[in-house]
Homo-oligomer: A and B are copies of this chain.
Amino acid sequence: MTRAGADLALLLLAGFRTFADRGAEALARRGFDDVRPTHDFALRAIAAGADNPSELARRLTVTRQAAAKTIAVLEERRYIDRRPDPSDGRRLRLTITARGDELMRAGDAVFAELRAGWEAQVGSVRIGEAEEALRALVGDGVISVDSPDWSTRDLDS
């Protein structure tokens, strides 16, 4: 079983994808068919206080430019607003629109459901343990899908 390690990695990826895909589908059914994880991560980071492009870039560990592009999309799709910061002429102030809030709430609901479904399948204890093990593995590291081609880094699957 020499591939056990690689299979495990793949399984984690598949698990994420399962969540992501099903979540996307459920959100699309609720009318949010124009968001991707990138956008959502950014939205939540903004909600969490990264209310200007530079700060957002730092939180997502991408360049300011990448953040700016994401922000442009988010604004265009009416999830956030963007306006000058009255107290600092250089800065833009990002705020979440009502639609943005709705998206986040819908996301919460959708993923809670997915988790509940999985718990029903294999037991909540087991999932709690898996979660614990994962936390031990990943440590405190920040998570970000945005990071440059993280999905294409070397992984001997």
Q: Report A's interface with B, CB cutoff 8 A.
A: 2-6, 8-21, 23-24, 27-28, 32-33, 35-38, 40-41, 44, 103-104, 106-116, 118, 121-122, 126-127, 129-138, 141, 143, 145, 149-157
CA distance A8 to B117 in the complex (A): 13
CA distance A16 to B11 in the complex (A): 8
CA distance A139 to B109 in the complex (A): 23
Using A5-B115, A18-B138, A112-B4 as known contacts, say yes or no to A155 and B23 having CB atoms under 8 A apart: yes
How far apart are A99's CB and chain B's nearest CB, in angstroms?
A: 13
Complex contacts, A108 vs chain B, CB 8 Å: 2-3, 5-6, 156
Residue from A9, A127, A135 having most chain B Cβ neighbours under 10 A: A9
Output the nearest chain B residue to A156 by Cβ-Cβ distance: B107
30 contacts between A and B (CB under 8 A): A5-B111, A5-B112, A8-B115, A8-B131, A10-B143, A11-B143, A12-B12, A12-B15, A13-B145, A14-B134, A15-B138, A16-B16, A18-B138, A21-B150, A24-B154, A27-B156, A28-B154, A32-B154, A32-B156, A35-B154, A35-B156, A37-B154, A103-B156, A104-B156, A107-B157, A118-B133, A121-B136, A122-B132, A122-B137, A126-B129
